[in-house]
Amino acid sequence: MHFDETFLVFMSLIIFLVIVVYLRIPSILLSFLDAHADKIRDDIFEARRLREKSENILMQYKEKHSKVEEETREIILAAKHRAKILAEEGCQNIEQISALYLKDLEQKIHYMKLEAKRLLYAKIADFSVEIVREIISQKMNDDVNSSIFEKTISSIQSCHQMDKNTTETLGSQ
């Protein structure tokens, strides 16, 4: 009997398939594929669960972020308002200080004017006494008149000295 090559290949294929079925290789392959499919299903389920969890966390963080932004805006507005109030108060304080300083300067100027007038009147009085003394001494020729004049000047000076002492005594009390 002569077998053709195609027949031998066909017979080899049949023997191979019988051996494969006998050794239950298809069921082993199917169980392996089923296990792999189950693992993929579990991975997909876990991925969905993690995705949902991450979406929840993302939403929570977005809410917290929006709350923080709102609080930040409120803090900034409050700070701007407080700065505006402080600036207004500062301007008012500056105006008050300037007014007080101006009033103080006006008082100092007033006192300086009074002191200048007092000094001027004192110098005028001293100068007048000297001029009167000069004029009177030039007109008086004899010694008697001169002694009368000296006595009169002495009495005026003593009266003036008494007025000073009285003023000082009253001022110290």
Q: Which pLDDT score, from 0 to 100, does residue 23 have?
A: 84
Establish if 75 belongs to a structural domain: yes
Establish if 99 belongs to a structural domain: yes
Per-run averaged pLDDT (10 residues), the chain, 173 residues: 85 91 85 93 94 93 93 92 88 86 91 88 82 73 66 73 58 51
Establish if 81 belongs to a structural domain: yes
Establish if 59 belongs to a structural domain: yes
Q: Please give the Cα distance from 173 to 170 (Å, whole number).
A: 5
Q: Which pLDDT score, from 0 to 100, does residue 20 have?
A: 84
Q: Please give the Cα distance from 56 to 63 (Å, whole number).
A: 11
Q: Which pLDDT score, from 0 to 100, does residue 9 have?
A: 93
Q: What is the DSSP letter of 173?
A: -
Establish if 56 belongs to a structural domain: yes
How is residue 166 written in tokens? 């009285």
Residue positions counted in the chain: 173
Question: 8 vs 1, 4, 13, 18, 20, CA distance in Å?
Answer: 12, 6, 9, 15, 18
Q: Which pLDDT score, from 0 to 100, does residue 145 have?
A: 66
- If 0-12 CB within 10 Å is exposed, 13-18 middle and 19+ buried, where does residue 140 land? middle
Establish if 55 belongs to a structural domain: yes
Establish if 80 belongs to a structural domain: yes
Number of domains composing the chain: 1
Q: Which pLDDT score, from 0 to 100, does residue 162 have?
A: 64
**Host domain of residue 74:** 23-105
Q: Model pTM? A: 0.39
Establish if 147 belongs to a structural domain: no
Residue the block writes with tokens 């007048």: 128
Q: Which pLDDT score, from 0 to 100, does residue 54 have?
A: 92
